[in-house]
């Protein structure tokens, strides 16, 4: 009996040693390991990079362009990367999906392109696409009013931009009141922000923890209120006689007839509201701030805009103006609106880089592994953009053409941004109107401390003086 126990013990010990050595050998071929204090959820990484966004870049300095987050029983629960080939593969590859978002986002946003893969995602994208066709977005009527408003109340610029996107998506005029809407636009915006917070926490905690530990009644109420507002927009666009002479259609008018039912239409519209919120507005605010610290660029642009002919404030005029396009590209490079994008491996797959003893070989990635592709780290890579990669220098775009995996502010591949052209022309229009009106800018922002929890903006906003 004793010798049997000895044999079993020896076998078990040998097996443990074998597993240990195998794990060490495998780990040697994995990317560098982030030293986590929380091997269960990696909350230390999540919170430290959310509270201090610059840490995202510091960690690449420390570990290289690809590193992993380990958890108990899983040496690589997530990969964080700013390697150009990896970023593109994660954003554009068929093996990477986003359905994991459904549990946290579904209650508020329903089912649509932001949390679906495969056929369901394709169906949503097809439904939305006509809204972004050039004839439908080559129209500055609403934006003109927004620009007038911004110029009149320049300090409140950030809030005003929501109105234009609300009109484009829901067809709701933010100034109108007595059309039977369940609440005014200010209340909708307030509830939307509250809903986003609830949704973010649910996304972070996952379905089980959220159901167990979070109060549900208030969140349910907020979601219901938001839904009633979007339903009103759908009802309105279905019942109002469409004016046949109208040049453009709202997204509600385009989506409602194609949707399976009202809940489906509501999901598509709510998800587009999320995709479009804090995007063009953030780009404009970041651009204005960077221009306020580079008066020579503002002066050059003002000279060009002041002497331009009336055709300038049209789609073609704005999109072909090199100075404006360079300014926007450089801002999207240095302060990408979405600094990082997450996906999960749908099946066992590979990333082009991060494996092998020198971390430069293909990296095998098991199904279920989470990946965070960091556009910000990629956009400030000195290897790609040179030693002045951290400086804002719009002139660099005169001679520099990035490869298709080196500059991805609007994503890449089949999921790339549908609103890109609309966002760029609207930002150009607003910038041109501001530069025409104001002689110079003065930066009074105490500190640039990026908040990258959703889109990248300054944590405490910007303080800028516009001189007439």
**C-beta pairs of 134-138 under 8 Å, 24+ apart in sequence:** 134/315, 134/421, 135/247, 135/248, 136/248, 136/249, 136/254, 137/168, 137/248, 137/421, 137/422, 137/425, 138/315, 138/425
CA 309 to chain centre: 35
Q: Which is nearer to ligand HEM, 275 or 301 (CB)?
A: 275
Q: How far is the CB of 375 from ligand HEM (least distance, A)?
A: 7
Q: Which residues pair with 15 in a beta bridge?
A: none
Give min distance, CB of 118 to ligand HEM, in A: 12
- Minimum CB distance to ligand HEM smaller for 113 or for 140: 113
Q: Least distance to ligand HEM from the beta carbon of 111, Å?
A: 13
3-state SS assignment for residue 105: helix
Tokens 């331009």 belong to residue = 308
d(CA 210, CA 216): 9
48: Cβ contacts below 8 Å, ≥ 6 apart: 55
Residue 354 vs 419, nearer CB to ligand HEM: 419
Cβ proximity to ligand HEM, 128 vs 346, nearer residue: 128
Distance separating alpha carbons of residues 323 and 301, to the nearest angstrom: 7
Q: At its nearest, how many Å lie between ligand HEM and the CB of residue 442?
A: 25
Q: Which of 70/93 has CB closer to ligand HEM?
A: 93
Q: HSE of 205 in the Cβ direction (CA atoms, 13 Å)?
A: 14
CB of 411 to ligand HEM, least distance (A): 3
Tokens of 419: 């609103």
Enumerate residues 6+ apart whose C-beta is below 8 A from 327.
287, 291, 297, 301, 394, 431
Backbone phi, psi, residue 343, to 5° = -145, 165
Q: How far is the CB of 117 from ligand HEM (least distance, A)?
A: 10
Q: How many C-beta atoms surround the C-beta of residue 261 within 10 A?
A: 7
Phi, psi of 432 (to 5 degrees): -65, -40
**Which DSSP string corresponds to 362-418?**
EEEE-TT-EEEEEHHHHHT-HHHH-TTTTS--GGGGGT----TTT--TT--GGG--S
Judged by beta carbon, residue 159 or residue 386, the one nearer ligand HEM is 159
Q: Judge whether 417 is annotated as a binding position.
A: yes
Q: Find out whether 307 and 299 touch, Cβ atoms under 8 Å.
A: no
The contact set with ligand HEM (CB under 6 A) reads 91, 113, 125, 128, 165, 168, 272, 275-276, 279-280, 283, 337-338, 341, 409-411, 415, 417-419, 422-423
* Residue nearest to ligand HEM as judged by C-beta position: 419
Taking the complex as a whole, the smallest distance from the CB of residue 273 to ligand HEM amounts, in Å, to 8
Nearer to ligand HEM among residue 31 and residue 411 (C-beta): 411
Residue number with CB closer to ligand HEM (57 or 423): 423
Smallest gap from residue 455 Cβ to ligand HEM (A): 8
| Residue 143 CB, nearest approach to ligand HEM (Å) | 12
Between 279 and 321, name the residue whose CB sits nearer to ligand HEM.
279
Q: Which contiguous run of DSSP H or E holds residue 16?
A: helix 2-28
**Burial (0-12, 13-18, 19+ Cβ within 10 Å), 404:** exposed
**Which residues are part of a known binding site for heme?**
417
Query: Binding site: what residues are annotated?
Result: 417
């Amino acid at each position: 009996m004793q010798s049997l126990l000895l044999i079993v013990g020896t076998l078990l010990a040998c097996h443990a040693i074998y597993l240990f050595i195998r794990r060490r050998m495998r780990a040697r071929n994995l990317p560098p390991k982030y030293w986590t204090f929380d091997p269960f959820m990696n909350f230390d990484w999540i919170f430290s990079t959310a509270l201090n966004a610059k840490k995202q870049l510091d960690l690449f300095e420390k570990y290289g362009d690809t590193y992993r987050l380990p958890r108990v029983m899983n040496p690589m629960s997530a990969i964080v990367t700013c390697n150009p080939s990896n970023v593109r593969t994660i954003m554009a590859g068929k093996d990477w999906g986003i359905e994991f978002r459904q549990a946290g986002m579904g209650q508020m946003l329903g089912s649509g392109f932001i949390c679906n893969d495969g056929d369901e995602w394709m169906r949503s994208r097809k439904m939305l696409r006509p809204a972004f066709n050039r004839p439908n977005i080559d129209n500055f009527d609403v934006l003109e009013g927004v620009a007038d408003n911004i110029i009149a109340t320049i300090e409140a610029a950030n809030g005003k931009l929501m109105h234009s996107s609300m009109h484009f998506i829901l067809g709701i005029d933010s100034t109108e009141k007595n059309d039977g809407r369940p609440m005014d636009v200010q209340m909708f915006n307030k509830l939307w922000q509250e809903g986003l917070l609830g949704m973010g926490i649910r996304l972070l905690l996952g379905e089980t923890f959220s159901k167990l530990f979070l109060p549900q009644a208030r969140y349910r109420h907020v979601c219901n209120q938001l839904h009633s507002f979007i339903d009103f927009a759908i009802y309105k666009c279905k019942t109002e006689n469409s004016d046949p002479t109208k040049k453009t259609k709202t997204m509600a008018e385009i989506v409602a007839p194609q949707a399976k039912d009202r809940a489906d239409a509501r999901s598509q519209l709510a998800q587009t509201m999320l995709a479009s919120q804090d995007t063009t507005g953030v780009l404009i605010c970041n651009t204005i701030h960077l221009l306020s610290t580079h008066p020579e660029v503002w002066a050059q642009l003002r000279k060009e805009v002041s002497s331009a002919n009336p055709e300038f404030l049209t789609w073609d005029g704005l999109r072909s103006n090199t100075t404006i396009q360079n300014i926007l590209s450089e801002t999207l490079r240095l302060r990408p609106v979405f600094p990082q994008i997450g996906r999960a491996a749908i099946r066992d797959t590979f990333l082009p880089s991060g494996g092998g003893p020198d971390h430069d070989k293909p990296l095998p990635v098991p199904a279920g592994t989470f990946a965070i592709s960091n556009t910000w780290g990629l956009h400030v890579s000195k290897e790609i953009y040179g030693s002045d990669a951290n400086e804002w220098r719009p002139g660099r775009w005169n001679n520099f053409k990035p490869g298709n995996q080196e500059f991805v502010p609007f994503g890449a591949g089949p999921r790339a941004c549908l609103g890109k052209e609309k966002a760029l022309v609207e930002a150009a229009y607003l910038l041109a109107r501001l530069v025409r009106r104001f002689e110079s800018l003065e930066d009074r922002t105490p500190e640039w401390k990026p908040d990258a929890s959703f889109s990248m903006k300054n944590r405490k906003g910007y303080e800028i003086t516009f001189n007439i």
